[in-house]
Structure 1
Amino acid sequence: MTVRDGTPSTGDFGQRLRHLRVRSGLSQEALSHASGVSVRALADMERGRTRGPQRRTVQALAEALGLDGAEAARLEKSAAVGRPRPRTGPVPAGGGPLALPRDIRDFTARGPALARLLELAQDAGPGLPVVTVVTGQPGLGKTAFAVHAAHRLAPHFPDGQFALDLHGMDPEPTTPRDALARLLGALGVADAAIPAGTDDRAGLWRSLAGERRLLLLLDNAADESQVGPLLPGSGPSLTLVTSRRALAGLESVHRTDLALLRREEAVELLTRIIGPERVRAEAQAARDLADLCGHLPLAVRIAGQRLLSRPHERLGKLVTRLGAEGRRLDGLQAGSLRVRAAFALSYRQLPQESRTLLRRAALAAGADFSPQTAALLAGLSHDEAVGCAEELTDAGLLQSDAAAERYRFHDLLRLYASEQVDTEDGPEVRDAALDRAASWVLRRATAAALHFDADHEQTEPRSDPDPETAPAGRDEARAWLEAERAQWLASLRRAHDTGRHRQVLDTAEAMHWFSDLNQHWEQWVEVFRLSAASARLLGSKREEAVHLNYLSWAHNSCTHDARAALASADAALAAARECRDGLQEGWALGYGAGALQRQGRMQEAEERLREGVHRLAAEKSPQSRLAELTLLNTLGTLLRETGRAAEALDLHRRSERICRAGVPGRTDRVIRLYLAVTRLHIGNDLAALERWREAETPLRQALGALEAAQVSAWAERTRLHLGQTLAALGHPEARTTLRTARDALAALRSPLLAEATKALAALDDAGAATT
């Protein structure tokens, strides 16, 4: 049927549009360009595939065709006839094709995140719809959280609540076109009325959703391009999106980053699954089980389901089974719930390089790792490793440090990644990766540690494996050595175990001065035990004596194990005498004396120290002068502590004269360091003689020099003694000085902390007594 001008009747929009286009002399391409409507959409309209385009689309076409008001109204009327007429009542929440999944009865924790979503729901208005993205690593319970939240928020969205699984981890995730068809169908749009094209489906969905107060749960999203077309453009709706990826490309969205449960929350979840009686009966086993599950909700749930199906099994039995790391992932499965399967879904989606980096990074030592370590293990460049690590972070498989460029695994993910090394790489590839990383890391550790070598000024670049990225200066070197402590120590072990003993000795020797600045590190015992063993295996008696002396120092100063220190010193003394090395003989006598002194064997300690001073005085090398200074100072300290402070002062004045005379072949920086330590001893001698005012000056001089040299262990020791002297003088700086010393000694885990605390308390008591 047509009207008198030959225009098709009102009800046939496609024929009317084609007639108007031809009448205007426009091709589909020309009309597309003028209106902004795609050529494909125009073709679908004219062929009757799209019978009722949106109102704004019709308006754009009318303007491009130059229609007057009456013609534009008739075109709009014909479009309205073909538009779907969805049901007008609210969509039932408990049924329909996209109904919310059943809520989890024993859902636990996540209170702050739920409260935030409730605030967003209450604030949702007719303007910009609210969208929140729920992200996190596998097993954190993103879907469970979103479903629980949707049920809690449902009363705020009476026009419908829809849940759609986007299958983001599948080989072929749901396409936006198919997802839109399901959403339109859930709103009541008949299949025949759903547009063919993705853009038109998205437009219709936004048009209909914009008029309703809807809650939409898009679960398991693959990426931004999948989610974008599904988000309502206007109206008071709220959309929850869950994804293992960060979906950083989505703009104007809120983010809910789920973290691991706290230990008590993990135990609470276990309690809700198996009941409070069993948890109360084995409270410690329940806490241990939560720890073995890494506080990961999926793992805790699997453990709980396993116990629920075995009502008579003790929690301790499962703890024992999971305690064996190699069997932990096997033990964490119950029915269709498997931790390994959850991880595998994400792993299989990764590109080859990212899979390689993920599994090889599990070989890194310590709680976290740098991109450089990952690059060495994976055989990638630094930039490639950074790109892969960021991709893995977006995928929720790694966690990035908030302040530094470092990454960490969840414990169970590390186990899974380690399994993949065994399965995909095998022992030869794994060993090659570990050797490659160990060699590079030890070369850098050696170069970095030499920044602290007080025997020589560092005037030329050291043999760093990559000079362009090498730490520049002591601050950067210290930062690298501290951040990579676990990695270079593991590399040292590997070098020793694989027979690279020269590299072990070179690294440990380079660490000698750096170790003195970090006496609170108990790892020095292992470092020098390995290097002494490597020297012995190389048959070098002199180096064996050197490193046994270092080991004795570590036992004395780092772990305060006097018995072990004496044994190492005696072994060093035997090796030094065998190779007739007077310098190492003197050091061994000195370290042995320190161990004897700690055991209260003062007379024996004094005898060894005097023998060591005599032996060193006969040596002519610059190293012997420095060793003589050390033993003189140590002997003086022993004399002072046994009530012979005047004799101690004479010895320390002798040390001061040696320092002022200088030591040929040694830098001013080294001599200033020895002079500072000597002045510390002089100040303590004077304090022991109650010559408080005389003691203050050398102690202040020592503190300034030691702080400038960044020798924190000695500087804070000096600050403590200065504070005690100032307290004896009634000086107003005493309290501040002692408090600063106490806090710093606590940070260093120094055994002098108790003395500092006692001195500060005594000062406070004295102040209270005078008020």
Structure 2
Amino acid sequence: MSTPATTRGDFGPRLRALRSRAGLSQEELAHRAGVSVRALADMERGRTRGPQRRTVAALTAALALPGADAKALEEAAAAGRPRPLPAAPTGLQLPRDVHDFTAREADLARLRTIAEGAGPAHPPVVLVTGQPGLGKTAFAVRAAHSLADRYPDGRFAVDLRGTDAEPAEPREVLRRLLRALGVAESAIPQDVESRAGLLRAAVEDRRVLFVLDNAADEGQVRPLLPAVGPALTVVTSRNALTGLEGVHRVELGVLRREESVALLGRVAGPERVAAEAQAARDLAELCGHLPLAVRIAAQRLAARPGERLSKLAAQLADERRRLDILQAGNLQVRAAFALSYERLDARARRVLRRAALAAGTDFSPQTAALLSGTTLRQAELCTRELADRGLLLPDPAAERYRFHDLVRLFATEQLAEDDPAELARAREHTARWMLARARAAALHFDAERSPVGDPHNETAPRGREEARGWLEAERTQWLDALRQAHTDGHHREVLDTAEAMHWFSDRTQHWEQWAQVFRCSVAAARGLGSRRDEAVHLNYLAWAHNLCLHDYPGGLATAREALAAAREADDLLQTGWAYGYGAGALHRLGRPEEAVAWLEDSAACHRANPTPQGRLAELTTLNALGAHLRLTGRAEEALAIHRRSEELCEAGIPGQSADLLAVYRAGTLHHLGCDLGALGRWAEAEPLLRRALDRFEAAGMAAWSEPARLDLAIALRHLGRTAQARTTLQAAHRGLAEQSHPRLAEADRERADSAVGDPSGAAGH
């Protein structure tokens, strides 16, 4: 085959002819050469006019070309490669690729897919965002180098200096890009709009790649974007640039643990990391898996080849020194955060640093407003801005925010800007506001009291669902406020808050934090010198030991303390409750006869108490006594006692709400169903258990509904209704697991028993 002289642009037709001669489809040649089908199609259509030597060599081998054809194909490719431009480029060459770049494979693959799928009518713009220290620039540079084959007409990078006090002007950036593309200085117009138009014209038929690094805002970027043609633009920014239209967004996150450890190994040496695997994992965790921090730690180790990883981990464990240590030369985590912090206005800076005082892992704009002394609306605007700037991480489902660990340390350092006395006032104001809201929200669950005293009526929860949502979302904040009030000696506030929580706690027995609440209230009662209040809250604490912590020795000891305080205060109601909580602990400690004796004493105390509270307490105690009798094999006696409970429910209790009595009826129905089941009367038990479950669910009492659901599943199995039993058991198992309920083990055994009769062997899945 003769080889005609090559001209610029004939690589594609030549390649297509050679492929046809070899009898290969595009897919077959792409597979043999190790290139994508789209890349091969771009070469044949002339969109890629000058692929690199290694690509041509792979195609030559795949086509098994003789020497002359191979040489001609390479010459055609060389003719299509860009030649040095006149008026030398103005320092916009891509930075060097970092050889130890780690992870981001999925993000890089997505960017490549975007580049390969682009059409000339819509030149793609990829916006890479994320908080400071995520390696956005390194990612963009790695992507640009990996895509170099596709952009033979030039790859250019420009720093837009978005974190500087004076970011780069679009007018000057356009001049530099035009000069790099070969436009003479004298041909460049003066105004931004004309320069932007000339840039768009210059690249509309050229395969160029722009990396616009560290963008400040949308207005800086828009004039720099091509309108049509095959160009690719990659923009990086710490800001979300939410107003930038028609862009592909790649939001980088922190590394996974194994990726952080891999980066440590690539920089500091894989042998050192393997030798101290746990220390390497600790280092990655202490760096918050932030690429910049991990790299700094790794480079410190690389500079000290004899230093152990565990030594550096021990140094970083001290939060006061962590940001000091996380610097290597001009790489500094603190400096990276400071660049963004200094670009904020005074109010946003105050919101950021004061938010570091919030308890727990996340916080709401309301908490930020209280701590920073702004209005809620101002705090909402600031937190959104801080999230857009990568300094806060927004919750995907709720308007809540959290810090990266290292950003929190940085924000805490900035509290030095505030007067300590003002900070103390802000913290106390926030704590007292949180306690007032918590009390009002919790009273939604108290059948005898109205939810009053909320500090901000406009945002106060309306109804039980909203109240529960607030109490759950802000649990860490109001618990911290309660502890602070206890430390500051605000005993009455602590007692009032804990008392308001009493009925709500029954609906959330799986919260271990109730023990903290009632320890604080017991201490507050002692601080006030009130033995009656001490007895009340010791009883609450005994309940928490039994049902929340499953600490039965602690429950019994606390019940004994409550009994002593109640007797000293001559309080019949609290004496009866103390006997009841002690009985619960004794039963779980495997001392059933003592438990029954304590319950009988409890019932006697309540029977002697003529008040409505005495009737409710008697009803509770009878239900508990019957349960103990049933569990000790005395089901007939249990049934008789629970029939007495049923009579009390039917008679009603003066002054008690219908909702409250409905809950007690549900508890009694549950016990009656279990008694009948223990007697083998499953057909009578099933409807009672179902009614109890329905009422618990209507009241939102998951701690009560899930055990009832388990008992219903057992009844259905005994009745031979296998499919219903299996479905009910699966739901009960999920609910009990969410609560870490003590009956979860029983549900596991029931699932195992059910699987025996399940022909699919899939019970519970």
**TM-score, normalised relative to structure 1:** 0.86
Call closer, same or farther: CA 1:562–1:208 in 2, change over 3 Å.
same
Assess if the C-alpha contact under 8 Å between 1:91 and 1:160 holds in 2: no
1:40-78 deviation line (CA, Å, top 9, x unaligned): xxxxxxxxxxxxxxxxxxxxxxxxxxxxxxxxxxxxxxx
- Other-structure match for 1:741: 732
1:399-452 deviation line (CA, Å, top 9, x unaligned): 11222111111111011111111x111432222221111111111111111111
- Other-structure match for 1:429: 422
Q: Matched residues in 1 for 2:689 and 2:464: separation? A: 26
Q: CA deviation at 1:692?
A: 2.0
Determine whether 1:271 maps to 2:265: yes
Determine whether 1:703 maps to 2:723: no
Q: CA deviation at 1:740?
A: 1.6
Q: CA deviation at 1:95?
A: 7.5
- Other-structure match for 1:198: 192
Q: Matched residues in 1 for 2:583 and 2:540: separation? A: 14
Determine whether 1:377 maps to 2:371: yes
- Other-structure match for 2:396: 402
Call closer, same or farther: CA 1:584–1:216 in 2, change over 3 Å.
same
Q: CA deviation at 1:769?
A: 11
Assess if the C-alpha contact under 8 Å between 2:531 and 2:569 holds in 1: yes
User: Identity across aligned pairs (percent)?
Assistant: 61
- Other-structure match for 1:518: 508
- Other-structure match for 1:540: 530
1:207-248 deviation line (CA, Å, top 9, x unaligned): 222232111111111111111111122221111111100111
Call closer, same or farther: CA 1:338–1:359 in 2, change over 3 Å.
same
SS in 2 for 1:162: strand
- Other-structure match for 1:647: 637
Equivalent position to 2:111, from 117, 120, 143: 117
1:433-482 deviation line (CA, Å, top 9, x unaligned): 211111111111111111111335x4xx6221111211111111111111
Call closer, same or farther: CA 1:770–1:429 in 2, change over 3 Å.
closer
The one-letter code matched in structure 1 to 2:423 is R
Determine whether 1:492 maps to 2:482: yes
Q: Matched residues in 1 for 2:337 and 2:714: separation? A: 58
Determine whether 1:323 maps to 2:317: yes
Equivalent position to 1:448, from 438, 441, 446: 441
- Other-structure match for 2:133: 139
SS in 2 for 1:304: helix
Assess if the C-alpha contact under 8 Å between 1:90 and 1:160 holds in 2: no
Determine whether 1:287 maps to 2:281: yes
1:279-316 deviation line (CA, Å, top 9, x unaligned): 11011111111111111100100110011111111111
Equivalent position to 2:673, from 673, 683, 687: 683
- Other-structure match for 1:336: 330
Q: Matched residues in 1 for 2:708 and 2:447: separation? A: 20
Q: CA deviation at 1:173?
A: 1.0
Assess if the C-alpha contact under 8 Å between 1:91 and 1:161 holds in 2: no
Q: Matched residues in 1 for 2:691 and 2:217: separation? A: 63
**TM-score, normalised relative to structure 2:** 0.86
SS in 2 for 1:239: strand
Q: Matched residues in 1 for 2:679 and 2:690: separation? A: 18
Q: CA deviation at 1:585?
A: 0.7
- Other-structure match for 2:35: none
The one-letter code matched in structure 2 to 1:144 is A
Assess if the C-alpha contact under 8 Å between 1:124 and 1:237 holds in 2: no
Asked which structure has the greater CA Rg, the reply is 1
The one-letter code matched in structure 2 to 1:447 is A
- Other-structure match for 1:549: 539
Assess if the C-alpha contact under 8 Å between 2:89 and 2:180 holds in 1: no
Assess if the C-alpha contact under 8 Å between 1:699 and 1:718 holds in 2: yes
Determine whether 1:483 maps to 2:473: yes
Q: CA deviation at 1:696?
A: 2.0
- Other-structure match for 1:756: 747
Q: Matched residues in 2 for 1:731 and 1:645: separation? A: 24
- Other-structure match for 1:583: 573
- Other-structure match for 2:492: 502
Matches of residues 590-629 of structure 1 in structure 2 within 5 Å? Answer: 590-629=580-619
Q: Matched residues in 2 for 1:703 and 1:119: separation? A: 53
Call closer, same or farther: CA 1:436–1:193 in 2, change over 3 Å.
same
Assess if the C-alpha contact under 8 Å between 1:90 and 1:158 holds in 2: no
Aligned residues: 680
Q: Matched residues in 2 for 1:112 and 1:578: separation? A: 69
Q: Matched residues in 2 for 1:767 and 1:161: separation? A: 65
Assess if the C-alpha contact under 8 Å between 2:255 and 2:290 holds in 1: yes
- Other-structure match for 1:63: none
Q: Matched residues in 2 for 1:396 and 1:382: separation? A: 21
SS in 2 for 1:134: strand
Matches of residues 401-420 of structure 1 in structure 2 within 5 Å? Answer: 401-420=395-414
- Other-structure match for 1:354: 348
Q: Matched residues in 1 for 2:91 and 2:245: separation? A: 29
Call closer, same or farther: CA 1:770–1:256 in 2, change over 3 Å.
closer
Q: CA deviation at 1:549?
A: 0.5
SS in 2 for 1:217: strand
The one-letter code matched in structure 1 to 2:524 is S
- Other-structure match for 2:205: 211
1:144-189 deviation line (CA, Å, top 9, x unaligned): 1011111111111111111101111111111111111211222233
Equivalent position to 1:242, from 223, 232, 236: 236
Assess if the C-alpha contact under 8 Å between 2:755 and 2:761 holds in 1: no
Q: CA deviation at 1:735?
A: 1.7
Q: CA deviation at 1:90?
A: 5.7
Structure 2, gaps ≥5 residues long: 1-80
- Other-structure match for 2:165: 171
Q: Matched residues in 1 for 2:700 and 2:336: separation? A: 49
SS in 2 for 1:349: coil
Q: Matched residues in 2 for 1:95 and 1:538: separation? A: 80
SS in 2 for 1:638: helix
Q: CA deviation at 1:542?
A: 1.2
Assess if the C-alpha contact under 8 Å between 1:684 and 1:695 holds in 2: yes
Q: CA deviation at 1:250?
A: 1.3
Tell me which moved more, 346-355 or 266-275.
Answer: 266-275
Assess if the C-alpha contact under 8 Å between 1:271 and 1:279 holds in 2: yes
Assess if the C-alpha contact under 8 Å between 2:710 and 2:729 holds in 1: yes
Provide the alpha-carbon RMSD of the alignment.
1.9
Q: Matched residues in 1 for 2:597 and 2:744: separation? A: 30
Q: Matched residues in 2 for 1:627 and 1:530: separation? A: 25
Assess if the C-alpha contact under 8 Å between 2:82 and 2:152 holds in 1: no
Q: CA deviation at 1:709?
A: 1.6
Q: Matched residues in 1 for 2:487 and 2:647: separation? A: 47
Assess if the C-alpha contact under 8 Å between 2:179 and 2:185 holds in 1: yes
- Other-structure match for 1:78: none
Tell me which moved more, 631-640 or 200-209.
Answer: 200-209
SS in 2 for 1:376: helix
Assess if the C-alpha contact under 8 Å between 2:542 and 2:554 holds in 1: yes
SS in 1 for 2:210: strand
The one-letter code matched in structure 1 to 2:479 is L
Q: Matched residues in 1 for 2:84 and 2:374: separation? A: 55
Q: CA deviation at 1:254?
A: 0.9
The one-letter code matched in structure 1 to 2:301 is L
Matches of residues 288-307 of structure 1 in structure 2 within 5 Å? Answer: 288-307=282-301
- Other-structure match for 1:22: none
Q: Matched residues in 2 for 1:117 and 1:769: separation? A: 45
- Other-structure match for 1:162: 156
Equivalent position to 1:637, from 624, 627, 630: 627
Q: Matched residues in 1 for 2:645 and 2:387: separation? A: 57
The one-letter code matched in structure 2 to 1:510 is A
